[in-house]
Amino acid sequence: MKGKNGSARREYVVGIDLGTTNTCVAWVDDSVPTVIPNKGGYKTTPSMVAMSESGKRLVGHIAKRQAITNAQNTVYAAKRLIGRKWDSPAARAVQQSCPYVIVEGPHGDVRARLREQVYSIPEVSAFILQEMKLIAEQYLSVQVDRAVITVPAYFNDNQRQATKDAGRIAGLEVIRIINEPTAAALAYGFGKDLERKVAIYDLGGGTFDVSILDIGHGVFEVISTAGDTFLGGEDFDIRVMDWLIQSFHEKTGVDVRDDRMALQRIKDAAEKARCELSIARETLIDLPFLYTTPTTETLHLQETLSRAQLEELTRDLVDRTISICERTLSEANIDRGDLDDVILVGGMTRMPLVQQRVAEFFGLEPCKGVHPDEVVALGAAIQASALLDESQDILLLDVTPHSLGIMIVGGYFHKLIEQNTTVPTSASHVFTTVRDNQTSVKILVLQGESDQAMDNELLGEFILSGLRKAARGQVEVEVTFSISADGIVSVSAKDLETGREQSIKVTATSGLTEDELQRLVEQSQSYMVEVRTSEEFERRRQQAERLIAEVRALLPTVKGIMSGTSFGRDAIAKAEAALDRAQTEMSATDLRGLTEVTESLERTLNMFRGVVSKTGLT
Q: Which residues are catalytic?
A: 17, 79, 180, 202
- Residue 476: how many other CB atoms lie within 10 Å: 14
d(CA 618, CA 615): 9
> Do you find a cis peptide bond into 288, omega within 30 degrees of 0?
no
Please name the residue ranges forming H helices in 206-259.
Answer: 233-252
Please report, for residues 63, 129, 134, the alpha-carbon distance to residue 45 in angstroms, rounded to integers and kept in the order given.
10, 10, 12
d(CA 40, CA 326): 41
Identity of the amino acid at 15: G
Q: Note whether 421 and 436 are within 8 A (CB).
A: no
Q: Collect all residues with Cβ–Cβ distance below 8 Å to 302 and sequence separation of at least 6.
A: 284, 285, 286, 287
The rounded Cα 45 to chain-centroid distance in angstroms is 10
Name the DSSP letter for residue 367: B
- Residue 289: how many other CB atoms lie within 10 Å: 11
d(CA 372, CA 104): 35
d(CA 492, CA 501): 7
Beta strands in 456-553 (DSSP E): 457-465, 476-483, 489-495, 501-506
The set of long-range contacts for 524-527, using a CB threshold of 8 Å and a minimum separation of 24, is 524/126, 524/130, 524/169, 524/170, 524/171, 525/171, 527/57, 527/130
Q: What is the 3-state secondary structure (H, E, C) of 178-201?
A: EEHHHHHHHHHHCCCCCEEEEEEE
| Helix (H) and strand (E) counts in the chain | 13, 29
- Residue 9: how many other CB atoms lie within 10 Å: 11
Identity of the amino acid at 280: A
Q: Note whether 547 and 605 are within 8 A (CB).
A: yes
Q: Note whether 184 and 372 are within 8 A (CB).
A: no
Backbone angles phi, psi at 604, to 5 degrees: -65, -45
Q: Of the candidates 129, 112, 116, which has an alpha carbon nearest to the alpha carbon of residue 169? A: 129
d(CA 548, CA 543): 9
Q: Of the candidates 72, 87, 174, 70, which has an alpha carbon nearest to the alpha carbon of residue 122? A: 174
Q: Note whether 24 and 45 are within 8 A (CB).
A: yes
Helix axes 233-252, 307-331, angle to 10 degrees: 150
SS3 content of the chain, % helix, strand, coil (to 5): 40, 30, 30
